[in-house]
Structure 1
Amino acid sequence: MASIERTAYPQFKRNPVVRELVAAYTPTEVEIAFVAEHARQPAHRLTLAVLLKAFQRLGYFPPLEDVPAPVVRHIRNELRYRAQVKPAPVAPNKRYRYYQRVRAFLQVRAFADDGLDVAARAMRDAAAVMDNPADLINVAIEQLVRDRIELPAFSALDRLARRIRTLVNGRYFATIAERLTVDEKQRLDDLLHVTDPRQKSPLQAIKRLPKRSSLMHFQELIDHIVGLDDLVGSEAHLADVPEIKRKHFAAEARAMDAAEFKDFRPAKRHALLLCLIHRARVQTRDDLAEMFIKRMGTIHNRGKEELERLRAQYREKTEAIVATMSDVIRVLNHHTVDAEAGREIRHLVSNRGGARALQADCDAIAAHAGDNHLPLLWPFYKTHRATILRMVRHLDLESTTEDRSLIEAIKLILCQERARGDWLDESVDLSFTNHPWRKTLVHRTESGEERIHRRLFEVCVFSMLANELKSGDVAVRGSETYADYRHQLLPWDACEPLVQDYCQQLGLPANPIAFVNELQSRLTQVADLTDQGYLENGQVIIGDDGLPVLKRGKAKGMTSGARALETAILDRLHERSVIEILCDVGHWTGWTRHFGPLSGSDAKIDQPTQRYVLTTFTYGCNLGPAQAARHFRGAISAHQLSFVNRRHVDAGKLAAACRDIINSYAGLQLPRFWGDGKSAAADGTKYDLYDQNLLAAYHIRYGGYGGIAYHHVSDTYVALFSHFIPCGVWEAVYIIDGLLKNTSDIQPDTVHADTQGQSLPVFGLSHLLGIKLMPRIRNWRDYRFYRPDADARYEHLDPLFRETVDWDLIETHWKDLMQVVLSIKTGKIAASTLLRKLGNYSRKNRLYQAFCELGAAVRTLFLLQYISNQELREQITASTNKVESYNKFSKYFFFGGEGVIADNDPVEQEKTIKYNDLVANAVIFHNVVEQTRIIKSLIRQGWKITREDVAVLSPYVTSHVKRFGDYLIDVDAIPEPYEIELALAA
Structure 2
Amino acid sequence: MQALERTATDDILDLFDGLMSALALRGEAKRRRERLRSLKDLDEAALLLQQAVRILLDETVPDADLRQRVLNSLGETALREAADAVQALASSDDDPMLQVLAGSYATVRRFLPALLNGLVFEGAPSAKPLLDAWHFLQQLEQPGRGRPKWAAAPAAVIPKSWARRVFPGKGEVNPQAYTLCVLDRLHQALRRREVFVPSSERFGDPRAELLRGEAWEAARDSVARALDRSTDPAVELARLQQQLHAAYTEVGTNLAHNTALQLLQADGQPYITLTPLAAQEEPGSLTHLREQLARQLPPVELAALLLEVEAFTGFASAFTHVADGQTAANDLPLSICAVLLAQACNIGLKTVARAEVPALTLPRLSWVQQNYVRVETLTAANARLVDGQAGLPLAQAWGGGEVASADGMRFVVPVRTIYAGWNSKYFASQRGVTYYNFTSNQFSGFHGIVIPGTLRDSLFILAGLLEQQTSLDPREIMADTHGFSEVVFGLFSLLGFRFSPRLADLPDQRFWRLQKEDDYGPLNELSRHVINARLIAEHWDDMLRLAGSLKLGKVKATAVMRTLQRAGSLSGLGRAVAELGRVEKTLYLLAYVHDEAYRRRILVQLNRGEGRHALARAVFHGKKGELRQRYREGMEDQLGALGLVVNALVLWNTRYLQQALEQWPETETALLPDDVARLSPLLHEHVNMLGRYDFTLPESIAAGQLRPLYNPENWQERFAPVE
Pairwise same-fold verdict (TM > 0.5): yes
Q: Distance in 2 between matches of 1:613 and 1:587?
A: 11
Distance 1:784 1:429, change over 3 A: farther
Distance 1:858 1:451, change over 3 A: farther
Structure 1 position 759 matched with structure 2 position 448: no
Partner of 1:291: 15
One-letter amino acid matched to 2:449: H
Q: Distance in 1 between matches of 2:115 and 2:95?
A: 30
Partner of 2:73: 348
Alpha-carbon contact 1:691-1:706 (below 8 Å) kept: no
Partner of 1:907: 633
Corresponding residue pairs, total: 694
Deviation track 1:792-827 (CA, whole Å, cap 9, x = no partner) reads 454333444464322222222222222222222222
Alpha-carbon contact 1:558-1:952 (below 8 Å) kept: no
Paired residue secondary structure (1:346)? helix
Partner of 1:498: 219
Q: Distance in 2 between matches of 1:400 and 1:533?
A: 49
Paired residue secondary structure (1:752)? strand
1:893 to 619, 632, 635: 619
Distance 1:442 1:794, change over 3 A: farther
Partner of 1:471: 192
Q: Percent identity?
A: 23
One-letter amino acid matched to 1:930: Y
2:662 to 929, 932, 936: 936
Q: How far off its partner does 1:435 sit? A: 5.1
2:265 to 544, 547, 559: 544
1:180-219 matches, cutoff 5 A:
none
Deviation track 1:136-176 (CA, whole Å, cap 9, x = no partner) reads xxxxxxxxxxxxxxxxxxxxxxxxxxxxxxxxxxxxxxxxx
Q: Distance in 1 between matches of 2:180 and 2:70?
A: 44
Q: Distance in 2 between matches of 1:317 and 1:637?
A: 70
Distance 1:969 1:301, change over 3 A: closer
Structure 1 position 865 matched with structure 2 position 591: yes
Distance 1:592 1:365, change over 3 A: same
Distance 1:323 1:505, change over 3 A: closer
Deviation track 1:914-943 (CA, whole Å, cap 9, x = no partner) reads 111111111111111111222222211142
Paired residue secondary structure (2:208)? helix
Partner of 1:639: 363
Q: Cα RMSD over matched residues?
A: 2.9
Distance 1:682 1:415, change over 3 A: same
Distance 1:711 1:511, change over 3 A: same
- Structure 2 residue runs of 5 or longer lacking an equivalent are 708-723
Partner of 1:788: 514
Distance 1:457 1:844, change over 3 A: farther
Partner of 1:512: 233
Structure 1 position 649 matched with structure 2 position 373: yes
One-letter amino acid matched to 1:500: D
Q: Distance in 2 between matches of 1:844 and 1:918?
A: 37
Q: How far off its partner does 1:836 sit? A: 3.0
Partner of 1:956: 682
Q: How far off its partner does 1:705 sit? A: 1.8
- Structure 1 residue runs of 5 or longer lacking an equivalent are 1-276, 980-986
Q: How far off its partner does 1:441 sit? A: 4.9
Structure 1 position 458 matched with structure 2 position 458: no
1:621 to 339, 342, 345: 345
Q: How far off its partner does 1:600 sit? A: 4.7
Deviation track 1:472-495 (CA, whole Å, cap 9, x = no partner) reads 221212112122222222334223
Partner of 1:664: 388
Alpha-carbon contact 1:764-1:854 (below 8 Å) kept: yes
Q: Distance in 2 between matches of 1:337 and 1:434?
A: 45
Distance 1:800 1:935, change over 3 A: same
Distance 1:453 1:375, change over 3 A: farther
TM-score of the pair, normalised by structure 1: 0.66
Distance 1:336 1:310, change over 3 A: same
Q: Distance in 2 between matches of 1:632 and 1:864?
A: 65
Partner of 1:398: 122
Distance 1:759 1:438, change over 3 A: farther
2:445 to 719, 735, 750: 719
Q: Distance in 1 between matches of 2:226 and 2:570?
A: 33
Q: How far off its partner does 1:322 sit? A: 3.4
Alpha-carbon contact 1:609-1:971 (below 8 Å) kept: no
Q: Distance in 2 between matches of 1:376 and 1:683?
A: 33
Deviation track 1:11-51 (CA, whole Å, cap 9, x = no partner) reads xxxxxxxxxxxxxxxxxxxxxxxxxxxxxxxxxxxxxxxxx
Deviation track 1:113-144 (CA, whole Å, cap 9, x = no partner) reads xxxxxxxxxxxxxxxxxxxxxxxxxxxxxxxx
1:818-837 matches, cutoff 5 A:
818-837=544-563
Alpha-carbon contact 1:632-1:967 (below 8 Å) kept: no
Paired residue secondary structure (2:293)? helix
Q: How far off its partner does 1:788 sit? A: 1.2
Paired residue secondary structure (1:680)? strand
Q: How far off its partner does 1:878 sit? A: 0.9
Q: Distance in 2 between matches of 1:609 and 1:310?
A: 61
Q: How far off its partner does 1:353 sit? A: 4.8
Q: Distance in 2 between matches of 1:354 and 1:604?
A: 87
Partner of 1:816: 542
Partner of 1:731: 457
Paired residue secondary structure (1:728)? coil
Q: Distance in 2 between matches of 1:328 and 1:400?
A: 53
1:366-405 matches, cutoff 5 A:
366-367=90-91, 372-375=96-99, 377-401=101-125, 404-405=128-129
Q: Distance in 2 between matches of 1:540 and 1:403?
A: 47
Alpha-carbon contact 2:105-2:176 (below 8 Å) kept: no
Alpha-carbon contact 1:335-1:341 (below 8 Å) kept: no
Distance 1:341 1:401, change over 3 A: closer
Q: Distance in 2 between matches of 1:762 and 1:825?
A: 15
Alpha-carbon contact 1:475-1:483 (below 8 Å) kept: yes
Q: How far off its partner does 1:453 sit? A: 5.1
* Larger CA Rg, structure 1 vs 2: 1
Paired residue secondary structure (1:284)? helix
Q: Distance in 1 between matches of 2:439 and 2:30?
A: 44
Alpha-carbon contact 2:355-2:361 (below 8 Å) kept: no
Structure 1 position 922 matched with structure 2 position 648: yes
Q: How far off its partner does 1:659 sit? A: 1.3
Partner of 2:581: 855
Alpha-carbon contact 1:631-1:967 (below 8 Å) kept: no
Distance 1:457 1:671, change over 3 A: same
Q: Distance in 1 between matches of 2:98 and 2:241?
A: 42
- Specify which structure has the bigger relative contact order, considering alpha-carbon pairs within 8 angstroms and separated by 6 or more residues: 2
Q: Distance in 2 between matches of 1:714 and 1:740?
A: 14
Q: How far off its partner does 1:561 sit? A: 0.7
